[in-house]
Structure 1
Amino acid sequence: MLVNADFSRPVVVTPDRYDWVTSPQNGVERVMLDRVGEEQARATSIVRYAAGSHFPDHAHPRGEEIFVLSGTFSESDDHYQAGWYIRNPPGSAHQPSSAEGAIIFVKLRQMHPTDSQRVRIDTRDPAVWRRQGHREVCPLFLSDTERVCLQRISPGEALLEGRIGGAELLVLAGNVVIEERRSCERGSWIRLPQGESLKIVAGPRGATCYLKTGHLLDPQAETSA
């Protein structure tokens, strides 16, 4: 299965374009943002758990990255409310579930094979945020191959501008405007290839965004692993 699998092209998926697809597990649906492979795939998705739904215990050979968007997401006896960032490195295993229901942003099989860092960050905690110029930044992960953070930017402030080395963002609050033309509201996912030149600024309400850079410099390495 191939969904937005041409990494040389920019992609924008807004919430009005969400296509919810039933997963093999009862009570779990997903929006496939990009995907290369069948059930065991390199994938980026929005996943919705109905109350009481779960997956059996399973491993992640190339790792899994999660941001909880709403509800409460659980791994066995650990429970994460909206705003938690979770990073399970390659070779890890877990048994995900949600008693009350949850929506999460998930990236599968996209970590470097040597990545061994397990991360749990509650981004609702003011102590994990820092001021950088006119914006607030919450660092989530940093390595030689990728940088992940949340950014809060003021109305009209540029999140990205000029030629970039590849980037992926999810609008968590407010909205962003691409090239002064296209408004992308909360829930919009944007993937920009290496070398793309675009201006993305916060809309009139400002914006909070998940931002990941560096990981698309060699996307073929991801899809062939």
Structure 2
Amino acid sequence: MPQTIKISPNTILLRSDHTLPISSSWFDPKFWQSQDALSGTGNGRGEVWFINSQFGRFVIRRYRRGGLIAKFNKNRFLFTGLEKTRPWLELSLLEYMHSIGLPVPRPIGGIYVREKGFYRGELLTQTIENAKDLFDIIKTGNSQSLDWQEIGAVVKRFHSEGIYHSDLNCHNIMIDQANKVWLIDFDKCEQRPQDEKWKQANIDRLKRSLDKESNLYTQFNISDAQWRNFLEGYCG
């Protein structure tokens, strides 16, 4: 479980990596910008910043809301206790998955700040080096270079450990230069009892994301044979 460090009455630092001099400033993109270590930004389930520092390469993700509620509340969540905050839950799950050898980003730390019964939070993980997400690889016309059976086999590894990924899509599967398959973004994910229903729902969600992108981008193509290879790898 993450180590908790009280920075102020309302600010709690969560430490997963005990070898790095993590402080609250590590979760502030402006701090890294002042160190010339801010290397880029991105989007996902939250605001994302990429850090290239003397301590290593990291990703900061700020938790934010989706849907209609985001129009008037972008990043505040009801505080119902430390162990129910998003940074705590995701770090705890990442620590467990990392400890049993699942291909996930190495957890570094998190932080949350309470204010009037609500909190906002950030997560810090190590960058997966030389990796691209499935979406980018397919969009550039390189779906045939992917080992679809291996992708299916990796998803199966997570399911065999009871890991439910609430947003399994082509943006949250990454492939590095050694063709290793990784899963990222475990916000609102959890370990569940073994049940074929949620596992099938996970696979269906991935297929819908692939079909959706295929309808949006003419270069984004996946053959029936490639999807069958994925399923064969999963069932393998």
**TMscore range, shorter length:** under 0.3
**Higher Rg of the two aligned structures:** 2
| The structure with more strand, counted as a fraction of residues | 1
TM (normalized to structure 2)? 0.25
TM (normalized to structure 1)? 0.26
| The structure with more helix, counted as a fraction of residues | 2
